Amino acid sequence: MNVDVAELVRLRARHPQAVAEAAERRTRRPLLGDSGRLMIVAADHPARGALGVGGRGLAMADRADLLGRLRLALSRPGVDGALATADILDDLLLLGALDGKVVMGSLNRGGLAGASFEMDDRFTGHRPEDLERLRFDAGKLLLRVDYADPGSLATLESAARAVDAMAARELPVFVEPFISRRTPGGTIANDLSAEAVTRSIAIASGLGGTSAYTWLKLPVTDDPDHMAEVLETSTLPVVLLGGEVGADQDRAYEKWRGALRLPTVRGLVAGRSLLHPADGDVAAAVDTAVGLL
């Protein structure tokens, strides 16, 4: 779908109030529809400087292209909504692409990949009060914990206070937890073993003064056969993290299909794997993911 960037820029330059006006006009819906399932398309990567997909280092850098892919994905039957940072959601509001959709704002993170402060991962995106003001439906935060990095303590405290602030506003918050480690090369890697994901679930479930509005956003473990016992760690509702699937998209779909049958799993949140599928067919990738639900 083509996007008129010139018109977006004109609106932003001449009438910045148009974003708030579009948010006020937006038709809202419940978080969960009749099916009790949730299919969300994610695009909160660019604000973390994560622009690459596969071997293309700047695949998500073209904003018009990204918005076109998002509009196409959101137009497909069974897609419930979008997860993104403020700049992208503002564009989608101005385009009228969020009417009748679940809108999930990303609290994002300041710990940019490769930075010396990477594990001091305090939030730099939406605040809970922003989500309330804009009449959005939920928020999402990333929680990476490295036992060897003192910066993780600030991250944990920041996440706990965000959970409290969201609950005070009766807004669901989707917590995406990982146990992370710094590799010998200095990069941060997330541990997707069953034991590590189990530990991350236990930590995330206990954040804040109440878990009433907390959901978990979880990866499928390296060994999908252990996913059922991993999810026994918590009674919180779960959505699966799509992530980047690489060339073997069918194998990724099979992993999702198995995990989506588990009792605590309520849906799927996927970004690059649907917006930039290996074969380039966004509509087909989205339709296949919806079919898994």
Per-residue model confidence as pLDDT tens digits over 52-111: 666 676 767 789 999 999 999 999 999 999 999 999 999 999 999 999 999 999 997 777
Cβ-count burial 130-142 (b if 16+ within 10 Å, e if not): ebbebebbbbbbb
Domain spans, the chain: 37-292
Of residues 46, 41, 100, 96, the one with CA closest to residue 285: 41
- The Cα–Cα gap between 38 and 21 comes to 27
- The Cα–Cα gap between 141 and 162 comes to 9
- The Cα–Cα gap between 219 and 224 comes to 10
Of 18-22, 33-37, 169-173, which gets the smallest average pLDDT?
Answer: 33-37
pLDDT at residue 137 greater than cutoff 70? yes
The pLDDT score that the predictor gives to residue 227 is 92
- The Cα–Cα gap between 44 and 133 comes to 20
**What average pLDDT does this structure show over 221-225?**
83
Tokens 């809970």 belong to residue: 128
Per-residue model confidence as pLDDT tens digits over 91-107: 999 999 999 999 999 99
The pLDDT score that the predictor gives to residue 256 is 85
Of 42-56, 192-206, 250-264, which gets the smallest average pLDDT?
Answer: 42-56
The pLDDT score that the predictor gives to residue 122 is 77
Neighbour tally for 248: CB within 10 Å? 10
- The Cα–Cα gap between 6 and 112 comes to 30
Neighbour tally for 36: CB within 10 Å? 10
Domain 37-292 has CATH 3.30.1370.60: no
Say which residue, 41 or 223, is predicted with more confidence.
Answer: 41
Tokens 């917006």 belong to residue: 275
* Length, in residues, of the chain: 293
The pLDDT score that the predictor gives to residue 246 is 59
- The Cα–Cα gap between 155 and 290 comes to 33
- The Cα–Cα gap between 264 and 235 comes to 7
Task: Mention every residue, 6+ apart, whose C-beta is less than 8 A from residue 166.
Answer: 128, 131, 139, 172, 173, 213
Of residues 118, 9, 78, 126, the one with CA closest to residue 283: 78
Of 115-119, 152-156, 219-223, which gets the smallest average pLDDT?
Answer: 115-119
Instruction: Quickly state the pLDDT bin for 45 (edges 50, 70, 90).
Output: confident
- The Cα–Cα gap between 239 and 54 comes to 24
The pLDDT score that the predictor gives to residue 46 is 74
**What average pLDDT does this structure show over 267-292?**
89
